[in-house]
Amino acid sequence: MDARDRRPTPVPLRPLHLLHRTDWEPAIPVSDDGPPARSGEPAGRPRGLFIAFEGGEGAGKSTQVRLLCQWLAAHGRPPRATFEPGGTPAGAAVRAIVLDRAHTGLSPRAEALLYAADRAQHAHAVLRPALEAGEVVVTDRYVDSSLAYQGAGRTIGLDDVAAISRWATLGLRPDLTVLLDLPPEIGLARARGRAAADRLESESLEFHQRVRDTFRTLAAAAPGRYLVLDATRGVEELAADVRERVGALLEVHT
């Protein structure tokens, strides 16, 4: 049996600490002890393990989320799998708006605020409760997608999107972000080949190149949080690399 497939001992995770980098908060200082407590807001870091998958269109995020979740369940850590936008009933309504090509007139700022509203409810109803219960949470997209798509793709600017995102999530960040990196022309061909293009998939190649460039910049600025993988590689190769990194996190934080 490959060492990376050894069964982790299914015991509760100890609390983790926020990364010391600003990560997706370019203009917001973050202390070593995490975001400061505010009235009515929980302080400190939740107890679970939070994993986010990021990448452009057609990168294979949903496939890798599914494979990781299957592996975690088989090794005694059944995860909470979720996604953005739309990971809550309210979020499903937001998803219908932001991805529908009928809403081409939606302003970039309105779009960013809709994603932030979806994420605020997602963090409140799904992410934080699961993490505080000690669960492993795996999400298909999170804050870095808004930085890349709205901040850079829509050219709103990363600082404003980061500030909105921090407020919406109470500063909740992943312990690991897996970036599936792919040239946008390849990813768009994949995405458009499987279904009719949605509102974001219909954007220009230049838009999607800005998205990719920003994901790569974010990863370079926070190497401790990111696992960057070449998404032109085979599905099983990628899954093995993800399992190796996640397995190491489970061993360290159990």
The number of CA neighbours under 13 Å toward the Cβ of 140 is 20
- Reported as a single tens digit per residue, the pLDDT across 72-89 is 999 999 999 999 999 999
Better-scored residue on pLDDT, 230 or 25: 230
**Residue 238 φ/ψ region, left for φ over 0, alpha for ψ in the -120 to 50 degree band, beta for the rest:** alpha
C-alpha span between 128 and 230 (Å, rounded): 30
pLDDT (tens digit per residue) in 54-66 = 999 999 999 999 9
- Cite the annotated binding site by residue number: 55-62
Give the residue with greater pLDDT, 199 vs 36. 199
* 220, pLDDT greater than 50: yes
Is the pLDDT score of 30 beyond 70?
A: no
pLDDT of residue 209: 96
DSSP state of 87: S
Per-domain boundaries in the chain: 46-252
The pLDDT value recorded for residue 26 is 42
Give the C-alpha separation, 30 to 20, whole Å: 7
pLDDT band, residue 103 (cuts 50/70/90):
confident
Determine the topology of domain 46-252 in CATH.
Rossmann fold (3.40.50)
Q: Which of 146, 138, 151 is nearest to 177 (CA)?
A: 138
Q: What is the reported pLDDT for 192?
A: 80
pLDDT band at 252 (very low <50, low <70, confident <90, very high): low
Q: What percent of the chain has pLDDT over 70?
A: 80
Q: At what angle do helices 108-122 and 89-99 cross, to 10 degrees?
A: 160
Residue 139 pLDDT exceeds 90: yes
Please tell me the predicted confidence (pLDDT) of residue 203: 84
Classified as helix, coil or strand, 173 is coil
Cα 155 to chain centroid, rounded: 20
Confidence band, pLDDT 50/70/90 cuts, at residue 100: confident
For residue 233, name the pLDDT band (cuts at 50, 70, 90): very high
User: Residues comprising the binding site for ATP?
Assistant: 55-62
The pLDDT of residue 177 is above 60: yes
Report residue 44's pLDDT band, with 50, 70 and 90 as the boundaries: low
Is a pLDDT exceeding 50 seen at residue 92?
A: yes
Helices (H), the chain: 61-74, 89-99, 108-122, 128-132, 143-146, 158-169, 184-194, 205-221, 235-252
The pLDDT value given to residue 251: 82
Average predicted confidence (pLDDT) for the chain: 83
- Are the C-beta atoms of residues 5 and 243 closer than 8 Å to each other? yes
The whole-angstrom separation of Cα 148 and Cα 214 is: 5
Q: Specify the pLDDT at position 232.
A: 97
N-term to C-term CA, the chain: 22
* Alpha-carbon dihedral sign for residues 34, 32, 160, 207: negative
Q: Which two tokens stand for residue 130?
A: 């699961």
Q: How far apart are CA 172 and CA 136, in angstroms?
A: 14
Q: Report the C-alpha gap between 145 and 109 in whole angstroms.
A: 15
pLDDT at 36 over 70: no
Quick check: pTM over 0.85?
Answer: no
